[in-house]
Each structure stands twice: as C-alpha cells, then as structure tokens.
Structure 1
C-alpha cells in the first residue's frame, strides 16, 4: 500500500536546529540520509520543500481565483517535506515514521487508489467498485489504527 509521510516542522524544532553548531547540524543531516538509505527499497518519491514564505496559494470559489503569496494555512507547524513509500500496511509505515530522525511530527496518509479505466477511456465500473472498496477498507483500517494511541512496535 502506498502512503505519504508528511514531515512537519515545529517552531521548537526550528529553534533547536538553528542553535546547533555546524558539526551537530551535519550529523543530523547524516542521520536523515541514513534513514532514507535504510528505506530506499520502499521509497517511491519525495522532496524537501522550500520554506512556507515561498508558497503561493490559489483560493477558489465564489468567482475568479485569488492568488495569495504565502502558505494556505497560517500556523506554527508547517510541512517541510514528504516521502511517498510503498509498504505492506500502516503498521510498517508507523515503524518507518517512528525512526525518523528529523522534525518531530510525521503525518502518515494513504495515497488514493486510482479508478481503473477501460480501453475506451471510460471508468470500468467493476474495477472502480473494487478499487473504491479496497481504498475504503484501507481508510477504515487506517482511521481505526490512527485513533488507537498504541505505541509503535
């Protein structure tokens, strides 16, 4: 199953990162590189994102789109990067996230299953129903697991 791990920075983490000396900071980034190398076979994509002040937001609805400089959400925690992974289940994604050496918050979200299309370009109702049922079953399982505050094994 594919998941996206969203790496979320907090103001406290940014302050701590800013207070590190060059050697400590380099070691932290080495640990991040090691984490990615350890999980390389499960990685399907990902990137570090630029700071939120570089964002551009398009607000839709009620007429013409409005383009705004800055992030969509005005908040203290910001997504600083992401990794798309392919793992057996949510438990495996949780184990990966538990070992993340970077920022202190990792949000795990399942990737939506695409609707199969037949050779004419029409949605295949049998495949679509099966894909939707599988995605819904995974979402229900993930929601139950997410609501469960068990420790990561």
Structure 2
C-alpha cells in the first residue's frame, strides 16, 4: 500500500503488520488508521477486554457494537477496491477494569499487543474493503465531534491517494 501525504501528518505509532496509523501534527486527537485486523475486542458487556478472531463481516460487527451509533453504509472505492463507508459516534464505552493507556472503546487487538480504539464522544468514518488481495481492510477517520467535519476532507485526500500495488 502507498499513499500521498501533505504537510501536517505524522506517523502515529510503531509500524505493525496489521495497523498503520497517522495523526494530524496540529491536533493529536485527529487520526487516520488503516487496519487489517486479525483479532478484535468482543464488546460482550462483561467489562473485560476479551480478544476474538476478526469477524468475517467487519461491517456487521462494527454496526452491532452497542457502543457505536452508526449510520447506514454507502458504497465507496479506495484505490480501485470496492467497499462501504459509514459514519459513527462513540456513544458509550464499557467499564473496563483498570487499564492504563487503554482507549475508552477498544476495537482491534494489534500484532504488537497494543490496542486500536476510540474515545467516548468521538465521531468516526469507517471504510471497510472486503477483498484487498484477500484481506479485509478497515480504514477509519477518528476525531472529536466538533473537529470531525474539518478533519475528514484532509483525511480523505490521503485515502483518495491510496494505491494497493504489489501482489
């Protein structure tokens, strides 16, 4: 995968095989995340961070999350690959046991043992591509609700520049 970045972006974390994240230099609460999740956190209401294999249907899994208020998916393409996109609000979060540094709502368990997640009140745009070289790719834009409409066009420029390349 390759993409074009304008000024104002920084790598958000360590390079992993399953998650690539970028942050806005001006506001570190604005994120653009590319994930090929192998494992997810099951929002089972137990209050624990339970890891489960990534679902076959990522869109249905995200929309069934009781802590995400999601809109109806719309068709989209990224780098020529078909998928859907939908916006969501993080409407709540489980009451996890003490977990220093964990996000309010854990979504994906990363290969390095870290957690990709979101914070209560944030607005998100999910883009799910079911078959990028045989893998499901989930792209999400994460921002504070008041800054979302301003940040989405900047993140969309990066998404629009994606090329999957290689085989």
User: When you count helix as a share of all residues, which structure comes out higher?
Assistant: 1
Same fold (TM over 0.5): no
By relative contact order (CA 8 Å, sep 6+), the higher-ranking structure is 1
| Superposition TM-score, scaled by structure 2 size | 0.26
